[in-house]
Amino acid sequence: MHPTTLAYRAPDPAVVNLLGDLGRSHAEVVKALRILHAEYGRLTPHLISEVARELRLPISHVYGIATFYSLLTTPAPSEKTIRICDGPYCMMRGAVNLLSQIQSQLDESWTITRTSCLGLCDRAPAALVGDSQVGPVQLKDMDRYESGWCGVLSDYGRPRPYEIRALLPDPGAKNDPLGVAFDKGEYPALKKALRMSPDAILHELEASKLRGRGGAGFPAGRKWRLVASRAQRPKYVVCNADESEPLSFKDRVLIDSCPQLVLEGMAIVGYAVGAEAGYVYIRGEYGIQVERLLGAIDEAEDCGLLGSHIGGTAFSFPVHVHQGAGAYICGEETALLESLEGKRGEPRVRPPYPADFGYRGRPTVVSNVETLAAVPMILARGADWYRSLGDPDMPGTKLYTLLGEVNRPGLFEGPFRLTLRQIINDFGEGMREGSSFHFALTGGAAGTLVPLSLMDVPIDFDSASRGVALGSGGILICDQSASPLRMVRELVRFFELESCGKCTPCRIGVHEMRRILDRMLEGEVLPGDGKRLAQLSQLLQYASLCGLGMSVSKPVQSALQHFPDLFATNGTP
């Protein structure tokens, strides 16, 4: 090495102490960087080198992480930072103007910046002030946010008409909701599971026809059976709580209202597949939910329901919480695993799938919060009971997050196979006065733009082929004032900002698409732009490395299909 790099530098005691506290674990590098960023406001080359030296990691590796996660890249100490959400719904509720208005109102000590959907759509326009979730943000309340006020919380305590509640607490229910059982110091379903053979548990879960709630709808029992069948050890259960899909906030509400159900579900799956430990990977913007989960884990451990020798059996299952630092891509299961290992959240090529090569290369379950939360009730009440809920072919309940120009937006629990018409009229209590349905965005940013003609398509995990995606259950109803072109541009811009940049089609293709859409919005289209947009979206569908890239094509292709005139360039699409 060059002599200058060999010169002695005294270690920075701040970094040494911090990493000592974190156990010098490579997986904690993101946490260490978050803490240093909060303290110094900027991750300087010095801090990055010091962290690398203490952890014995390459400097380039730490730098790569420090510039990957959006919460680490803002040049400001966190307590003086306001991040305004520019998700599709917050935009609709005036987030853009808000940003400039706040900028003019606050002094220079504040840093005001945008951020991708915060999962606070029910409090739009939302923001993070420091680490606190705030919303709806109103200019007149700026002083109060500083002193810790966080706006108005949504109340999902009582079901709305037509709701079927199985997951969420239902004060009026005949059976005690399972989430309440913990108040008595029990995980009743886990208790039952520990008396069963892993095979019997898996059998029950498979029989329930439960499908993964993260968006793809893969049969959950089958995935867990695969991991259970692997001989390699240790194995892990990872709960994907990186809920970052625009319009989706169901996992946040679940963790807020019944964290024990999620943990119990993890423990049951852990027992069934023979896992040694569980990890909850939760997005960096869910600070309060992290606290909530950590508190819940403490309580459960105190009751002997998590940790070692659960219920006096040989089964031990500690659960750890790992907080992300701002990256939509980490919701993709292999990117999540990379991030969990303390790396940049770049997806791996699949196969091998996590069932074979997961966390630290071991067989790993990666399942969504909502999926895992459904496990205790299936075990406690049986697969037959679960199949009796909702639609027989796609049984159980689903959490929907309904937003937009309806009279009663917000989260509700319902069966599969609802139509948009039912959702708007029955659950949303109709279109808002003065609004008429123009189009909907279903399934989040990775979903579909749905025209009026598809109002009566029953929505489930398989309905995307009929033009209406369910995804993770986010639905945005737009009226005549909204433009599908602008919506698609916003979604593509979101994907551009959130692309990890690993594969060519996504890194450059999405950037190109956004530039074309910008031109279309500005009315400055170039010849062939429309055709190129379609071509690029097909390339992304065919050639992207991971689901994110493939997702980009969904809203674009549905918009091109249903609203071709808007994308026409000089009359020639």
Partner 1 sequence: MELHKFERRAMKLQVTINGRPFKAESGMTVLDVARAHGIEIPTLCNHPDLKPVGSCRLCMVEIEPQGDLATACTLQLYEGLEVQTETARLVQIRKSILELLLEDYADAGYAAGDREETEFERWLTHYGVHRRTGSSAQLRYPINSDPNPVLWVDRNKCVLCKRCVRSCAEIQGRFVWGVGERGHRVRIIAGADTGLLEARCESCGTCVAYCPTGALDDRMSVGLGKAERTVATTCTYCGVGCQLDLNVRDNRIIRVTTRSPSPVNGLQACVKGRYGYDFVHHPDRLKRPRVRRCLLEDRKRPAEGRGDWVEVDWDAALNLVADKFRRIKASYGPDAIGVMASAKCTNEENYLMQKLARQVIGTHNVDHCARLCHSSTVAGLALCYGSGAMSNTMEDVARDAQALFIIGSNTTEQHPVFGVKLRQAILRRGVPLVVADPRRIDITEFATLHLKLRPGTDVALINGIMQIVLTNGWQDQQFIDQRCEEFEPFYEAVLAYTPEKVSDITGLPVEQLQEAAEILTRHRPMAVIWSMGITQHTTGVLNVLALGNLQMLLGNIGVPGGGVNPLRGQNNVQGACDTGALPNYLPGYQSVTDASVQEKFNTAWQLEIRNGAAGQNATFRLSDAAGLTVTEMIDGSGAGKIRGLYILGENPAMTDPDALHAGQCMAACDFVVLQDIFPSETAAMADVLLPGVSWAEKEGSFTNTDRHIQLVRRAIDPVGEARPDWYIIADLARRILEREDRVPAGLQAAWLYEDPSEIMKEIASLTPIYGGISHERLQRGDQLHWPVPTDDHSGTPILHIGKFTRGKGRFHVTDHLPPKEMPDSEYPLVLTTGRVLYHWHGAEMTRRSHALMELYPETVVEISPEDAEKIGLNGKTSVRVKSRRGEMIAKALVTSRVCPGLIFGNFHFPGLQNVNNLTIEALDPVAKIPEYKVCAVRVESI
Q: Which is nearer to partner 1, 264 or 496 (CB)?
A: 496
> For 554, what's the count of Cα atoms within 13 Å in the CB-facing half-sphere?
26
Choosing from 480, 508, 524, 564, the residue that interacts with partner 1 (CB under 8 A) is 508
Q: Under 8 Å CB-to-CB from 241, ≥6 apart: which residues?
A: 251, 255, 262, 280, 281, 282, 283, 286, 289, 369
Q: Which stretch binds partner 1 (CB under 8 A): 93-101, 391-399, 463-471, 531-539?
A: 531-539
Residue 46 CB, shortest distance to partner 1, in Å, is: 8
Q: Does 560 bind partner 1 (CB under 8 A)?
A: no
DSSP character string of 387-446 = HTSB-SSSBSEEEEEEEESBSS-EEEEEES-B-HHHIIIIIS-SBPTT--EEEEEESSTT
Q: Which is nearer to partner 1, 228 or 500 (CB)?
A: 500
Half-sphere exposure for 416 (CA within 13 Å, toward CB):
24
Select the residue interacting with partner 1 from 35, 226, 457, 543 (CB under 8 A).
Answer: 543
Which of the stretches 100-108, 308-316, 362-370, 542-550 binds partner 1 when contact is defined by CB under 8 A? 542-550
From the CB of 53, what's the least distance to partner 1, in Å?
11
Query: Minimum distance from CB of 216 to partner 1 (Å)?
Result: 17
Site string for partner 1, 354-393 (x = CB under 8 A): ----------------------------------------
Taking the least distance from each CB to partner 1, the nearer of 200 and 216 is 216
351 binds partner 1 (CB under 8 A): yes
Nearer to partner 1, 61 or 192 (CB): 61
Report the nearest approach of partner 1 to the CB of residue 361 (Å): 13
**The residue type at 529:** D
Helix pair angle (29-40, 13-21), 10° resolution: 140
Span interacting with partner 1, options 51-59, 167-175, 213-221, 299-307, rule CB under 8 A: 51-59
Q: Residues 156 to 215: which contact partner 1 by CB under 8 A?
A: none
Strands 81-85 and 127-129: antiparallel
Rounded Cα–Cα distance for residues 505 and 276 (Å)? 38
Q: Is 255 in the site for partner 1 (CB under 8 A)?
A: no
Radius of gyration, alpha carbons of the chain: 24
> From the CB of 1, what's the least distance to partner 1, in Å?
5
CB neighbourhood size of 208 (10 A): 26
For the CB of residue 524, give the shortest distance to partner 1 in the complex, in Å: 12
Candidates 201-209, 266-274, 312-320, 535-543; binding stretch for partner 1 (CB under 8 A): 535-543
H runs (alpha helix) in 454-528: 484-498, 504, 510-522
- HEC letters along 440-471: EEECCCCCEEEEHHHCCCCECCCHHHHCCCCC
Considering beta carbons, is residue 6 or 231 the nearer one to partner 1? Answer: 6
At position 554, the amino acid (one-letter code) is K
Question: Applying CB under 8 A, which part among 128-136, 176-184, 436-444, 509-517 lies near partner 1?
Answer: 509-517
Out of 536, 556, 559, 560, name the contact with partner 1 by CB under 8 A: 536
- Which of 35, 49, 162, 198 is in the footprint of partner 1 by CB under 8 A? 49
State yes or no: residue 58 binds partner 1 (CB under 8 A): yes
Contact set for partner 1, span 487-506 (CB under 8 A): 496-505
Residue closer to partner 1 (CB basis): 292 or 362: 362
Nearest approach in angstroms of CB 152 to partner 1 is 34
Q: Which of 17, 26, 39, 60 binds partner 1 (CB under 8 A)?
A: 60
The contact mask relative to partner 1 for 304-343 (x = CB under 8 A, - = no) is -----------------------x-x--------------
Contacts of 115 (CB under 8 A, 6+ apart): 70, 83, 84, 85, 86, 128, 285, 326
Single residue of 31, 61, 230, 381 touching partner 1 by CB under 8 A: 61
Burial (CB count <10 Å: 0-12, 13-18, 19+), residue 293: buried
Can you tell me the distance from the alpha carbon of 448 to that of 32, in angstroms, rounded to the nearest whole number?
A: 38
C-alpha 115: how far from chain center: 14
- Report how far apart, in Å, the C-alpha atoms of 338 and of each of 65, 155, 184, 331, 333 are: 11, 35, 38, 11, 9
The structure tokens listed for 331 are: 């919701």
Distance CA 244, CA 554 (A): 17
Amino acid letter, residue 321: V
Residues 62-81 that bind partner 1 (CB under 8 A): 62-64, 67-68
Catalog residues that contact partner 1 under the rule CB under 8 A: 1-8, 45, 48-49, 52, 56, 58-64, 67-68, 327, 329, 344, 349, 351, 496-505, 507-512, 526, 535-536, 539, 542-545
